[in-house]
Amino acid sequence: MQLSILNASTEGGIDAAFRTLVERHAGALLVPADPFFNSRREQLLGLASRHAVPAIYAWREFPVSGGLISYGPSLPAMRRQAGVYAGKILKGAKPADLPVQQPTVFELVVNLKTAIGARPDDPAIYPGPRGRGHRMRPSMCATHQSPRSARTAPTGRTLIASDTCATHSLTSCRAGAIHT
């Protein structure tokens, strides 16, 4: 395996980085958390889709917008944590006496439409009967038995916390969740 680090700080730089990815026959792409990359989300998603490069992103907004997968800190949990921290300061705590806070909740978000739609016959993505890929019934998502209610995967493995979108195409689980 060869790791390539490509830098991009402009719109043209992103295009050039993808040209390099394609030339090097890269098997995947990791897009780190960066305000510039977040502002160029549609460009990154379009290029990853056009060049069929599987990509993992740092923020859940990417798979919500059509990307494949993200893993990173939960922004709502971070905002909640910042509110608690600010509340302590407003109640008289000295900021210098408070510990440095770091994210404690992380989310793995998988866009199942992108995952299954990219290669619906690949048994590694979704194994079906006799090794052939197949699509699930529209009323079920890949991990949950029903939206916003099930906490156990069909295999009996327990999820810590989960949420499924109304179209059953996006599954997110907090750290520790097991996807099958």
Other Cβ atoms within 10 Å of 158 Cβ, number:
10
Is pLDDT above 70 for 97? yes
Q: Which two tokens stand for residue 171?
A: 């599954």
Residue 95 CB-density burial (10 A; 0-12 exposed, 13-18 middle, 19+ buried): exposed
Contact 144, 153 (CB under 8 A): yes
Alpha-carbon distances, residue 156 vs 101, 143, 152, 153 (angstroms)? 35, 10, 6, 5
Residue 115's pLDDT band, with cuts at 50, 70 and 90, is confident
| pLDDT at 52 > cutoff 60 | yes
Residue 124 is classified by DSSP as: T
pLDDT tens, 127-145? 444 333 333 333 333 443 3
- pTM of the full structure: 0.63
